[in-house]
A = this chain, B = another copy of it.
Amino acid sequence: MKTLSLDTSELRDDGQTVAADLGCSSHPLEVFFHPKSIAIVGASERTGSPGQVITTNLFGSIAPGIQVFAVNPTRKSIFEHPAFARVADVPAQIDLAIIVTPAATVPDIISECVEAGVRGAIVISAGFRESGAAGKELELEIAQRIRGTQLRMIGPNCIGAMNPLTGLNATFARKAALPGSVAFISQSGALCTAILDWSLSEVIGFSAFVSVGSMLDVGWGDLIDYLGNDPNTESIVIYMESIGDAPRFLAAAREVALRKPIIVVKAGRTEAAAKAAASHTGSMTGSDAVLDAAFRRAGVLRVDWIGDLFHIAEALSKQPRPKGRRLAIVTNAGGPGVLAADALIAGGGELAQLSSESIKTLDEILPPHWSHGNPIDILADASEATFERAIELALKDEGSDAVLAITAPLVAARPITMARNIAKYAALGKPLIASFMGGGDVSDADDFMSRGGITTFAFPDDAARVFNYMWTFGENLKTLESAEQSLLHPEPRRNHSLLIDNVRNEGRTIFSEIESKQLLSAYGIPVVQTEAAHSIEEAIRVARRIGFPVVVKLLSKTITHKSEIGGVKLNLQSEDDVCIAYNEIRKAVLALGNAANFDGVSVQSMARQDGFELILGSSNDPQFGPVILFGAGGIFAEVMKDTVLELPPLSTTLARRMIEQTHIWQALKGARGKKPIDATALELLLVQFSQLVIDQPWIAEIDINPLIATSEGCLALDARVVLHDPSISFENLPRPAMLSGIVYEHSSQ
C-alpha cells in the first residue's frame, strides 16, 4: 500500500495530503475538500437549475483521481453519464454527497447516505428554517438522522464548497475560484457569488471557498479548526450573520488565531439591521458589544465595511504580512500622500523614519524641494525611473515595514511604465501596495499590478487603512497570547453557595443590598460596613456605632434601583438627619402603593470623597453566557458609557487590559496632583469577581456601583445581585463560553 500511495502522489499535483490517500484517520472535514468519490443527488440536465450547474461543474472540471456519480431516480443517464436511483446503487464507496433535491426529500436521502457510509454531505437545497415552521421541522428531522453518525453536513440552503487548489467546484456558481492561500467562508450565498466574480477580475486566489448556509451541522468552529490545520490556508476571511455555536467558535478561533489571521465582517451591527438579519437567516442574534468583546478575546479581527473584507482578502492573498506598523509612502502627488498619512496615523500606524542614507540618496535623485521626509513626495514632474528608484529605496530602508506607492496621472510619467517598473519589487519580502488614482488613464496599470502581485486601491487613504489592518492583526496576538498564558484558576472552584441557596429557598431572585455585600465579601471583595435597621431607633443606633456622617438607603427585596425613587440619602451628619431620611424613604416607597416593598433601611458610613467611582458588573448574553463589565461608575456609568466588556475567566493580565481600555484609566493612574489608585488591588478584585461569576451559575446579574478606588485600595459601596429564574434547571444555566472548550479530532500528522 505504501508504495502505491507514493506512486499516486508522485503522479499528481493537486494538493491532496498523503494521509487522505492512505486512508489514515483525518480531520472529519477533510472529506469536503479532498473527496475521492462524489455523488450528485439531484443531478439534472434542466438548464439553469442548480442541479444542472453543479453536475456540469463536477463532471466538467474535476481533479484526477476523483470519481463523480449522478444520482437521480427518474433518469437513466445525465449528460451521458449513467444515473443511479439511490446513493446505495452507486458502484463505489462515496465520500461526499452533494444534495440538490426538494427540501422534503432531504431527510431520507441523508439517511441513505449514512447507511452507505458517506462521510460528508453538502445540502444545497433551500426551503428549511428560512421558509417557516415546516422547514424548521425538516431541519430537526435531519439533525436527528445524523446525530451519532460519522456523517458531517454543510448547509442546508447554501451554494456549496470549492477547493480551488484541486479544481473541485461543488457549488452552483458557474465559475471556479482561482487557487490561492485565503480561505473564504460566507453565511450569505449571494455574497459568495459576488466575491467570486470580483476575485476573478482582481486576480485573487483562494485555498477554500465555502458557503455554510444554515450551519445545521458544520459551523464556524469546525471550519476554522480544519482550515487552521490546512497547510495551504494562510488566512481565513469570514462573512458572518450569526455566531451559531459560540463556545465552539471561540475555542477554534482562539487556537487558530495565534497562527493565522481570522478576519470577520459581521452583519447586523445595529439593532434594526440585526432584526432584518434574523428574519433573513432565521437565527437569533445577541448583543453586538458582547460579540466585539468575544472577537477581541479570540484574536479575531472584525472589520466594519464589506469593502474592507474584499481589500484585506486581496492584500493577504498577494502580500506578506508586515512585521510592524511603519509605512513609507512614495507619491508624485503631495495631497494624496497627506491623506494617506492621515488615515495611517488615525488608525495607529506610523510613518516610517527613513535612514539618513536613504534621505541622502533621495537628495541626489530628486529636485531640491522634494519633501525631505516621509511621505516621500517626489513631485509632479518625476520620471518613471525616479519613481522606481524611490520605491526601491523605501522598500530596502530598514526603517520601513511596508511601502505605499501613490500616483496621480500627470504629464511626466506613464502609469503603465511606473507599474511595470515597480512590479519586480513586489517579492522583496515587505508588502508593496499601490494607489494609482484616476480612471481610464490608470486602468491598464492597475490591471498589470493586480496580476503582478501588488495590492491596488482606488484611493490612497483606503490603502493606508487596510495596511493598518494588516499589522494590527499581529500586534493583537502578542497581547492575547500573554494574557491567555497568565490565566489562573480557569475552572469553576465550587458550584454552590449557602447565601444563594438561602435566597432561592425563600423563592426570591433578588438579593438585598446586605446579602449582596455578604456574597462579594465571601469572594474577598472589600465592601463598606453596612447594617440593616428596621426602625428609626435601630437606624440611629447603627449610625451612632458606625460614626457620622452616614448613608441611609432603602432595604427592599423587590426594589433594586433605589436612587430613582429617592431611596438613597447621602452624607447624613446627625441623628436628626437619619430620622428625616428614614421617614422620607418609607414615604417614597409607600407612595408606590405596596408596603411590602419596604423592609427598613441599611445604614453605612459615608465614603471618603477623594476616590474614583467605578462600576463592576456581570450579566448574561444569550450566546456567550456571563459577561463582565467594568468602567467609570456613578452617574457617569450611564452617560459617559466609558465601560469595557470581557468574557470570564479573567487573569490579572486580562483584568489590567480591561482597566487600561477605559478613558478613566488616564485619571486612575494619577493626574492633576491626585495619587494613583492601587491598580494591583483593582486587578485582583476583577479576577476575584470573575471567579465568583464562573463559580455561581445561578447568578444572572451583579452590579457593583459605585466601586470606590483610591490609592489605598477598593471598596464596594453599593451592590445588587439577581439570580436566574428558578424554573431553569441547573444543567441549562448559561455557562461561560470560554470554559466550554471542545476537543477536536486532528489529522494524525
Contact = CB atoms under 8 A, between A and B. Distances in A.
Given A609-B571, A672-B638, A279 B373 contact: yes
Interface in A653-685: 663-667, 671-674
B672 A338 contact: no
Contact of A191 (B277, B333, B566): B333
Contacts of A665: 639
A273 B345 contact: yes
Interface string A543-579: 0000000000000000001011110100100000000
A673 B307 contact: no
B369 A130 contact: yes
A600 interface: no
A466 to B, nearest CB: 12
Contact of A440 (B200, B271, B374, B639): B200
B564 A672 contact: yes
Interface stretch (A3-11, A182-190, A294-302, A532-540): A182-190
Interface string A315-345: 0000000000000000011111111011111
A563 B664 CA distance: 19
A48 B412 CA distance: 8
Task: Please state the number of chain copies in the assembly.
Answer: 2
Given A191-B437, A438-B194, A462 B409 contact: no
A351 B277 CA distance: 14
A667 B563 CA distance: 14
A225 interface: no
Interface string A369-386: 101111101001000000
B440 A197 contact: yes
A104 to B, nearest CB: 15
A435 to B, nearest CB: 10
Contacts of A749: none
Interface in A245-295: 265, 267-273, 276-277, 279-281
A206 to B, nearest CB: 14
A474 to B, nearest CB: 22
Contacts of A674: 635
B460 A202 contact: no
- Looking at chain A, what size class is its interface with the partner chain? 35 or more
Contacts of A459: 305-307, 310
A369 B280 CA distance: 9
Contacts of A632: 640
A193 interface: yes
Contact of A563 (B172, B194, B374, B672): B672
Given A276-B341, A335-B239, A337-B276, A667 B642 contact: no
A334 B188 CA distance: 7
B369 A270 contact: no
A410 interface: yes
Given A190-B380, A345-B272, A409 B439 contact: no
Contacts of A197: 409, 437-442
A467 to B, nearest CB: 14
Contacts of A673: 563-566, 568
A408 B239 CA distance: 15
A687 to B, nearest CB: 24
Contacts of A439: 197-202
A189 B674 CA distance: 52
A443 B197 CA distance: 10
B411 A336 contact: no
Nearest to A665: B639
A159 to B, nearest CB: 9
A491 to B, nearest CB: 37
A241 interface: yes
A671 B635 contact: yes
A190 B336 contact: yes
Contacts of A571: 609
A202 B439 CA distance: 8
Given A189-B380, A241-B338, A338-B273, A667 B411 contact: no
Contacts of A191: 333, 335-336, 408, 437
Interface in A10-62: 48, 50, 53
Contacts of A565: 673
A148 to B, nearest CB: 31
B194 A333 contact: yes
A276 B671 contact: no
Q: Which of A371, A439, A642 has the most CB of B within 10 A?
A: A439
Interface string A360-375: 0000000011011111
A79 interface: no
A571 B172 CA distance: 76
A610 to B, nearest CB: 8
A346 interface: yes
A493 interface: no
Contacts of A411: 48, 50, 53, 172, 174
A370 to B, nearest CB: 10
A636 interface: yes
A346 B270 CA distance: 7
A461 interface: yes
A461 B635 contact: no
Q: Which of A373, A609, A640 has the most CB of B within 10 A?
A: A640
A131 interface: yes
A373 B663 CA distance: 40
Given A200-B440, A307-B461, A280 B336 contact: no
A458 interface: yes
A131 B369 CA distance: 5
A641 interface: yes
A325 to B, nearest CB: 13
Nearest to A439: B201
Nearest to A367: B131
A341 B280 contact: no
A306 B200 CA distance: 26
Contact of A332 (B190, B412, B609): B190
Q: Which of A172, A201, A344 has the most CB of B within 10 A?
A: A201
Contacts of A200: 439-440
A338 B636 contact: no
Given A190-B410, A193-B409, A338 B267 contact: yes
Contact of A306 (B131, B267, B339, B568): B339
Contacts of A346: 269-270
A91 interface: no
Contact of A333 (B188, B201, B333): B188
12 contacts: A188-B335, A190-B380, A193-B408, A193-B409, A194-B333, A194-B438, A197-B440, A241-B338, A277-B335, A279-B372, A636-B640, A638-B666
Given A193-B410, A276-B337, 10 more contacts: A48-B411, A132-B369, A190-B380, A191-B333, A193-B409, A194-B408, A268-B342, A270-B341, A564-B673, A635-B671
